[in-house]
């Protein structure tokens, strides 16, 4: 993923972009603005709050124009924004040319009557979004996740640092758009330190912004495409682009995942009285510790989970296992009563026709939880904490 065609001639590029709207012929397939979702549902210019264009990444091996639209775009569509995606074929997808094409699409949407146009982008698409915001005043906001256009540490070490050094001039030149940036821990395309430097640049230039730097539990270059990302930040992104005013350095207070939400499925009349007060003990660090009570957390796919111990008779344990709704259709909130065994330092729920659940008390007092599919081919791990 090395892109040697980009050079630090930003001022010349900006001047070229402003006057380049005629460069895109309708017959060209290189760039295409399409609905972000397959159902093509749109509010329309008059009813929509505005238009959001998502810009995918660029790979040297596959056509990223075929990649799925991230889940958080559905939050914006549900809030009344028309959601588009700017598809670009890999061959010929350069930063200067694709930026010119993107700016032209922004201008066209404004000419059609959209009150606001927002650009969202992942990786290479994040760079494009910021470059477009450098070139025109018609961009209302930019949401840039894991910006990168110069390769990863492992594959393109010589150009990898440019994902930082070429990013900062882009932030310096943002004309009027508010800017929201996400940087993730464990991103092989991230040279590090970009959150603090980006925040400093945007603050100095009085650009309304929000920098979310290395959020907990979200790791890797593609973290923004996960269900957990949309659960934690979908509403925050919506509020950022819709707010009448944004402070120079806004913050995103994420309440989701701190305590059970109303969407978590639980039995009727479920309360603390439903939970066993009898001690359920297990060995942890050489000491006996209780597993009784209610335990809460979330899976990496963005679904809440609760385990509530109901009854203990010898080694037999019954509990309520509840999960919240998923991001995809058909992933409804549900609960089930499970029967398991206390085996050494674990509670194991292994019943015919059901997924296997395992829980082990950690040394820090939290509960290590493992979900394994019925066929044994997939599993998820998480950590639950005791709640009142």
- β 367-372/379-387 pair status: antiparallel
Edge-to-edge strand ranges of the sheet holding 31-35: 31-35, 81-88, 50-55, 117-122, 141-145, 178-183, 209-213
How high is the pLDDT of residue 272?
A: 53
For the chain, residues classed under CATH 3.40.50.1820 are 10-242
For the chain, residues classed under CATH 2.40.128.50 are 272-387
Instruction: Judge whether 63 and 92 are in contact, CB under 8 Å.
Output: no
Neighbours of 139 (CB within 10 A): 27
Instruction: Judge whether 247 and 217 are in contact, CB under 8 Å.
Output: no
* Structural domain 10-242, CATH architecture: 3-Layer(aba) Sandwich (3.40)
Neighbours of 111 (CB within 10 A): 10
How high is the pLDDT of residue 85?
A: 97
Residues 6+ apart with CB under 8 A from 223: 145, 146, 182, 184, 187, 229
Give the residue ranges of the chain where pLDDT is below 50.
1-28, 273-274, 276-289
What are the tens digits of pLDDT across the range 313-368? 888 999 999 999 998 888 999 999 999 998 888 899 999 999 999 999 998 999 99
How high is the pLDDT of residue 2?
A: 36
- CATH number for the region 272-387 comes to 2.40.128.50
């Amino acid at each position: 993923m090395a892109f040697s065609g980009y050079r630090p001639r930003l001022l010349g590029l900006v001047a070229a972009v402003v006057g380049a709207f005629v460069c895109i012929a309708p017959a060209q397939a290189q760039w295409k603005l399409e609905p972000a979702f397959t159902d093509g549902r749109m509010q329309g210019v008059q009813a929509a709050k505005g238009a959001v264009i998502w810009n995918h990444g660029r790979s040297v091996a596959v056509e990223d124009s075929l990649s799925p639209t991230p889940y958080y775009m559905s939050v914006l569509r549900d809030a009344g924004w028309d959601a588009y995606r700017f598809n670009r074929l890999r061959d010929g997808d350069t930063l200067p040319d694709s930026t010119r094409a993107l700016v032209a699409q922004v201008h066209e949407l404004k000419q059609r009557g959209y009150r606001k146009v927002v650009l969202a982008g992942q990786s290479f698409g994040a760079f494009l979004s910021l470059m477009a915001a450098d070139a025109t005043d018609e961009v209302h906001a930019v949401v840039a996740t894991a910006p990168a256009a110069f390769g990863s540490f492992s594959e393109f070490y010589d150009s990898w640092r440019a994902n930082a050094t070429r990013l900062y001039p882009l932030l310096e030149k943002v004309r009027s758009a508010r800017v929201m940036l996400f940087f993730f821990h464990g991103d092989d395309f991230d040279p590090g330190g970009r959150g603090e430097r980006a925040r400093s640049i945007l603050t100095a230039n009085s650009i309304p912004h929000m920098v979310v730097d290395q959020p907990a539990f979200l790791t890797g270059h593609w973290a923004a495409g996960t269900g957990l990302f949309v659960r934690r930040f979908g509403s925050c992104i919506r509020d950022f682009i819709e707010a009448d005013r944004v402070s120079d350095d806004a913050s995103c207070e994420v309440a989701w995942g701190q305590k059970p939400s109303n969407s978590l499925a639980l039995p009727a009349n479920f309360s603390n009285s439903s939970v066993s007060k009898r001690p359920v003990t297990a060995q942890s660090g050489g000491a006996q510790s209780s597993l009784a009570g209610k335990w809460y957390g979330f899976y990496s796919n963005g679904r809440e989970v609760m385990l509530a111990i109901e009854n203990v008779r010898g080694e037999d344990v019954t509990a309520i296992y509840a999960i919240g709704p998923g991001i995809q259709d058909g992933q409804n909130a549900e609960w089930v009563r499970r029967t398991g065994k206390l085996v050494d330092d674990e509670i194991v729920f292994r019943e015919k026709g059901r997924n296997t659940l395992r829980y082990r008390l950690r040394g820090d007092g939290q509960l290590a939880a493992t979900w394994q599919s019925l066929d044994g081919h997939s599993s998820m791990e998480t950590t639950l904490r005791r709640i009142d």
